[in-house]
Chains A and B, each alone.
Chain A
Amino acid sequence: MKRRTFLLGTAAVAGGLALGYRVWSAGFDAQAAALAGTGTGAGALLAGWVKIGADDVVTVYVPHADMGQGTHTALAMMLADELDADWARVRTERAPADKAFANRFLAQGWVLQGWQLPSFLTSTVGAGFAEAARFINLQITGGSTAVRFTGQGLRVVGAAARSMLAEAAARRWQVDAKTLSVASSVVSHPPSGRSARFGELAADAATLTAPSDPQLKARRDHKLIGRSLPRLDVPAKVTGEMQYGIDLSLPDMLHAAVRSAPVHGGKLVAIDVAPALKFDGVERVVKLESSVAVVAKSFWQARRALDALHPVFDDGGNGGASTRTHFDQQARMLADGKASSVHRSGDAEAMLKAAPADRIVEATYRVPFLHHAAMEPINATAQFKKGELIVWAGEQDALGSKAALAASLGLAADKVTLHALPIGGAFGRRIAQTSQHLALVAEIAKVVSPRPVKMIWTREEDFAQGAYRPAVSTYIRAALGADGRPTAWSQVYVDLAGPGRREGYQIPYDIPAQSLNVVAGKTHVRTGTWRSVAHSQHAFYTECFMDELAAAAGRDPFEYRRDLLPTGSRLRKVLELAAEKAEWAKPLAPGAARGLALVESFGTIVAHVIEASLGADGSPQVHRVTAAVDCGDVCHPDNATAQVEGAIIMGLSAAIGEQITIEQGEVVQKNFPDYPLLTFANAPPRIDVHFLASDGPWGGLGEPGLPPVAPALANAMFAISGKRQRILPLTAAA
């Protein structure tokens, strides 16, 4: 870790030490404070607290949502390792959605280390606050950032706290702190045999000034980092005790079922509320601009009454839209050439013009809208009382969602409280940019004020009102030299997030002339961030087209890619490891074949080799997936493996059978039966995940396992049948 100034603030808590930190230069502090317009002085912008109680319990406040990534445990391990804490006494708590807990390590990672702010954040807040948000308002769970950014910061906090506890002991015993040793939450002085528990030292430590540059351990000295400790969240998840947002119960709480305009952007035109009022338990029907809500004593009563209503919504002028019109429009955009450049090296267009026709390969690819389909349907609880709004919800970006909510309701930020709860899966759905469900429950809460109201979306509503992975397409041309190597690559792609997004398009191979261009597509359908965001489509385009080039050159797809990557590069090593572990060259039974793909995303490089055959209906049957991963250091190997396994399953599910389609402006798919997720019956019998021993920087892991899945499978299908699949899902083309 680079040396920089760490200013640590301490605060005495009841009998213990609470430690926050600032990893910020004075300039950034001043800038952030000025942009926020809050007059926040030095020391006010603290984040990432650790608390050490008189009872020795070390509480780590984690500024990320728990939605299954296991990062609460990993982050606590990172802090506890540097602290030399007794792991049995370490707990985690979700940091409150308060600016004091803004995750400045994310901002540091993105801004100071030259990472671009991920595109999904740029429109999460109003323009006036956007710049401030870039610096201080980050508490998001996304971008596969927890371990690689937040965790590095928490290590510093742990090291600082350790140093302060040792210093407190040194003063008490009047010895040199260098003669002390710290292990398992005990500071000891071997020469005199004296020792003290953290809990006995915490109050004294809280009076000390935090060190400006605490020393981090070398990798070989880690005691927790690198071990697969049992995750702290697992026990409550096998006993049914885990309380998700949907499980919340408050005194005097009402329940709401809602239906919103099925054509996104539509408005409620007419409704006869009388039929709902006849049902037991119904308190009232709430008419909103684009929705109708039935409020009742129980959710089931509310839902049953809602089903008796026939609200009339308009279509906002989008009733003629369909999947076909959507892609027809994109085909015209790709053809008319009015794109803006995102990357240019050499003169690809001139080289393509000069190349003989038989050395040119061209293709069009497209991917569908995808639903997040988290197992916990969207839900949220709100109470509007004395001009203040309190919301309880599972949100990935509690601070961002809180700011968006305040803005949409015209409330001052300090009149909104958001209690962030564990989430039954989110995958990018529950970020501030697409948190319209929070505004909806807040509007209902206003009407039933001061009673709290819990809104649950039926699975049908969850499908209809999603924020889908954009349905987009691309057109690519490449020229091959006499030796079969690509000399020029020219691509134009549609991005519904606009031309500003610079994510996912990278071509890592040695292709001298590259011209990458984006055209901004349009749709009335709400789109959002879906696990791995723009990488989910770009990996499919790039890695399938690379396979086409290999085939056109008459080369093996593995060797072709390898020869276009520098010897000894991380990318090449990952590709080679995947091929080796998957036994790339070993013959398979007739009808089976392997495909591969290599993708870097969120600071991590992943290659998958997928072994598959085709069923009688032409649909892919996956037998084995071999993953090779370089994410730098690995904090928790078992959980890291679980994240990659899960990403592979989700990637296969999407690649094989998922798509949201649009007819008459509405989403066609209503529930799981018409949106087939991968099941046990078609999950691959074998998944092997291999981590490359790497000295690269820490990378993310929640998302990077996903992007290479679809192209690796499509490439395997080509290897089997000789037929190229350029449209997802793969069953649609079968």
Chain B
Amino acid sequence: MINLTVNGQQHAVDADPDKPLLWVLREDLGLTGTKYGCGVAACGACTVHVDGEAARSCSLPLRSVAKAAIVTIEGLAASTALPAGQLHPVQDAWIRGQVPQCGYCQSGMIMTVAALLDKNASPTPGEIDSALGNLCRCGTYARVRKAIQSLVAKA
């Protein structure tokens, strides 16, 4: 048993310590909002927050995050001081900007952006591009940038 803190809740997980966090979240905790895309930390679909930092959960063994505070897309809004039921500002910007197409990469995209804006409330276009290594096959890049800009302008 390994104790894991996800979205503010403690879980005792009965899984191999080598099992990547991605599959623990999806298979052991039923949190399927975090997606499998490549398994080699190349696409960003599996991005979660580990102690406030964006991290690619497909390449993090369970043993390495046992003491960390993990936040997934399901817990992103609640991880801030917002009233229950309200969306995180990044999620809200994604709806206003009608960003997703198929949507599969967007959990990871939103988690990456939320972590970026936590550190840097007004990133330059260059900082945005270099922070976002996430892949989107539908080609939502222009809308992702615009949605981030709408938050930067507000900040």
List the interface of chain A (C-beta within 8 A of B): 66-70, 228, 230-231, 233-244, 246-247, 249, 280, 298-301, 372-377, 422-425, 427, 456, 458-460, 638-639, 642-643, 645-650, 653, 671-673, 677-681, 683, 685, 687
Contact = CB atoms under 8 A, between A and B. Distances in A.
A683 B136 CA distance: 11
A233 B100 CA distance: 9
Chain B, interface residues (CB within 8 Å), range? 35 or more
A467 to B, nearest CB: 16
Contact of A240 (B23, B101, B107): B107
A645 B139 contact: yes
Given A374-B137, A375-B37, A235 B95 contact: yes
Given A68-B103, A459-B40, A238 B133 contact: no
Contact of B137 (A427, A643, A648): A427
A425 B138 contact: yes
A299 B23 contact: yes
B129 A680 contact: yes
Contact of A680 (B77, B103, B145): B145
A424 B35 contact: yes
B142 interface: yes
A430 to B, nearest CB: 12
A298 B138 contact: no
A673 B135 CA distance: 11
B6 interface: no
A375 B141 contact: no
Given A68-B103, A375-B137, A650-B137, A681 B130 contact: yes
B57 interface: no
16 contacts: A234-B95, A234-B100, A238-B106, A239-B77, A300-B27, A375-B102, A424-B103, A459-B40, A642-B101, A642-B143, A649-B140, A671-B40, A671-B42, A672-B38, A680-B130, A680-B132
Contact of A672 (B28, B36, B40, B129): B40
B129 A647 contact: no
Interface string B81-102: 0000001000100110011111
Given A239-B73, A300-B27, A649-B136, 16 more contacts: A228-B98, A230-B95, A234-B95, A236-B103, A240-B107, A243-B32, A244-B104, A247-B26, A249-B30, A298-B23, A298-B27, A375-B43, A376-B102, A650-B139, A672-B38, A672-B135
A240 B19 contact: no
A237 B138 CA distance: 14
Interface string B20-51: 10010011101111111111101101000000
Contacts of B26: 247
Interface of B: 16, 19-20, 23, 26-28, 30-40, 42-43, 45, 72-74, 77, 87, 91, 94-95, 98-107, 110, 125, 128-130, 132-145
A235 to B, nearest CB: 6
Contacts of A459: 37-40
Nearest to B129: A680
Closest 9 A/B residue pairs (Cβ):
A240-B33, A649-B139, A424-B104, A237-B103, A68-B102, A68-B101, A240-B73, A646-B139, A247-B32
Given A298-B27, A300-B23, A425-B104, A239 B74 contact: yes
Contacts of B38: 459, 671-672
A645 to B, nearest CB: 5
Contacts of B133: 679-680
Interface of B is mostly: loop
Given A230-B95, A680-B132, A685-B125, A377 B138 contact: no
B68 to A, nearest CB: 19
B20 A300 contact: yes
Contacts of A646: 101, 138-140
A683 B102 contact: no
B141 A683 contact: yes
A557 B135 CA distance: 34
Contacts of B143: 642, 645
Contacts of B87: 238-239
B138 A68 contact: yes
Contact of A67 (B77, B94, B102): B102
Contacts of A460: 39
Contacts of B32: 240, 243, 246-247, 249
B79 to A, nearest CB: 13
B137 A677 contact: yes
Given A376-B35, A459-B37, A238 B104 contact: no
Given A650-B137, A685-B125, A238 B42 contact: no
Given A647-B139, A649-B141, A375 B98 contact: no
A237 B20 CA distance: 24
B66 to A, nearest CB: 17
A671 B28 CA distance: 26
Contacts of B39: 458-460, 671
A393 to B, nearest CB: 15
A68 B32 CA distance: 19
Contacts of A228: 98
A672 B105 CA distance: 14
Nearest to B135: A677
B36 A240 contact: no
Contact of A300 (B19, B33, B72, B94): B19
A610 B90 CA distance: 31
